[in-house]
Amino acid sequence: MRPHFKVQTAYPSDRTRLIRHHNRSKQPDGTHPGTGHLLFSAVALLVIAVAGCSRSDGPEVTFERARILADRGQYAEAIRLFDDVQETMSDRAELYFQRGVCLQALNLYEKALENYAECLQRDPENKPAMNNCGVVLAKLDRFDEAAAHFGQLVQRDPNDALALRNRGLCLHDLRRFDEALADYNAALKIAPDDVENWFQRGNVYLEKGDTALAEADFSRAIEVNPAFAKGWMNRGVARFRSGRRDEGMQDLRHAAGLDENIIVPDIEWAPPVTDMTAAKPVIPKPVVDWNECSGFIRETLADRGYSDIQTEADYPSRFCCRLTARQGDRTVFVTAALEAEFGRTFVPVLPDGEPHGVLLVVKHVSSDEAGSKFEVTNFSADWRPNSGSVDFLVLHGER
């Protein structure tokens, strides 16, 4: 199971210092903001609760109400209020930070990145904004840039275990395993009971083929937190790879009992040891120009009556994207992707709080000097995925 970057959602001020985590699965250390509570002054909260928020309210009251809405998970409503006060509070770094957190919670990564950059222009020493910039860049598969952001935090504070861990995850994605291990080793000296550090270091060992070291790290993560489903799952994978099939399946089944999003086949149907892999996306090999494919996707949506088509998140390495489009008087989210080899198609999940959207899958038919040709293989105007705790879904089809 893929580890998550840790997002910081509290602005560093005297009034509120609480850090929440952003994790769809609501694990203690992932990526869904909504599992904590920002603290507000009782007076401000009372004024807002009694008076509500009207056009006559001052910018401070509107800003506080936006923060409360964000803490309740009403991110779109909070963003509208932050927009309302931007003109009068344009020099306030916290405005851009809080709006960036909301945009990030909705998976609107490019816009979140712009807001964090605005925050850092006004407050260059803002560590949470620097951290979240790195997280967003990693979400966009810009791992080199993300590692550089986390590296700046490490330079400022060599004992910043979170920055070391996040940089380690980027270096892992870049397959710079020795550097990733060095970061995890340093982080574990600072925070020896951080289950994510043990889990993520175990993943590096697992990918390097060091199954004994990987199993030891996953076991340590489980020892620290017996309810840590990801640790049980990947220890099962490590044991499976080392030939201990029965023990591996026991771990996998235990993981499934802790997390309903983990589905394990009966042992009679389990794949051979050589085919057993950790839960990490397999990126399809590039066979076409993604720009051509995304152009066809836009043309297809326009032909079907959608207008004002905008890209919200683009993942060229996975040949998929998420867009918004107008359909009549409403805005809808569109998840679009290129069908990959053997019918495996990677698609980004919908933003948190969006129960349904539009799904469009296209297939590459042929290429010549004039360009590539595509055709639609799947279109649903009312797609209702069960995304669980992942960033991407894999659709399985048949050719």
Q: Which of 358, 366, 361 is nearest to 383 (CA)?
A: 358
pTM for the whole thing? 0.57
Alpha helices in 106-156 (DSSP H): 109-122, 127-139, 143-156
User: Given this chain, do its domains 42-140 and 192-275 carry the same CATH topology?
Assistant: yes
Whole-angstrom distance, CA of residue 30 vs CA of residue 380: 30
Tell me if 387 sits within 8 A of 24, measured CB to CB. Answer: yes
Burial of 205 (0-12, 13-18, 19+ CB in 10 A): buried
**Residue 398: DSSP 8-state:** -
pLDDT in tens, the chain (399 residues): 455 565 655 555 433 222 222 333 334 344 333 333 333 333 333 333 333 444 456 888 989 988 888 888 888 888 999 999 888 888 899 999 999 999 998 888 999 999 999 999 999 989 999 999 999 999 899 999 999 999 999 999 999 999 999 999 999 999 999 999 999 999 999 999 999 999 999 999 999 999 999 999 999 999 999 999 999 999 999 998 999 989 999 999 999 899 877 776 544 444 444 444 444 433 333 457 888 898 999 999 999 999 999 988 888 877 888 889 998 888 888 989 888 654 456 777 666 666 678 889 898 888 777 778 899 988 988 877 765 544 556 554 433
Burial of 295 (0-12, 13-18, 19+ CB in 10 A): middle
Q: Tokens for 254? A: 């235990």
Alpha helices in the chain (DSSP H): 42-51, 59-71, 75-85, 93-105, 109-122, 127-139, 143-156, 161-173, 177-190, 195-208, 211-224, 229-241, 245-258, 290-303
The listed CATH number (3.30.450.30, 3.30.565.10, 3.90.1150.10, 1.25.40.10) that belongs to domain 42-140: 1.25.40.10
Q: What is the pLDDT of residue 8?
A: 59
> In terms of C-beta distances under 8 Å and separation of at least 24 residues, what long-range contacts does 120-126 make, across chains too?
120/93, 122/91, 122/92, 122/93, 122/96, 123/93, 126/12, 126/93, 126/97
Q: What is the pLDDT of residue 386?
A: 61
Tell me if 209 sits within 8 A of 242, measured CB to CB. Answer: no
Third-level CATH fold of 192-275: 1.25.40
User: Given phi > 0 = left and psi -120 to 50 = alpha, else beta, which region is 308?
Assistant: left
Domain residue extents for the chain: 42-140, 192-275, 290-395
Q: Which residue has the tokens 């960036």?
A: 100
Burial of 59 (0-12, 13-18, 19+ CB in 10 A): middle
Whole-angstrom distance, CA of residue 367 vs CA of residue 369: 7
Whole-angstrom distance, CA of residue 312 vs CA of residue 333: 9
Q: Tokens for 183? A: 């970061």
Q: Tokens for 127? A: 């560590």
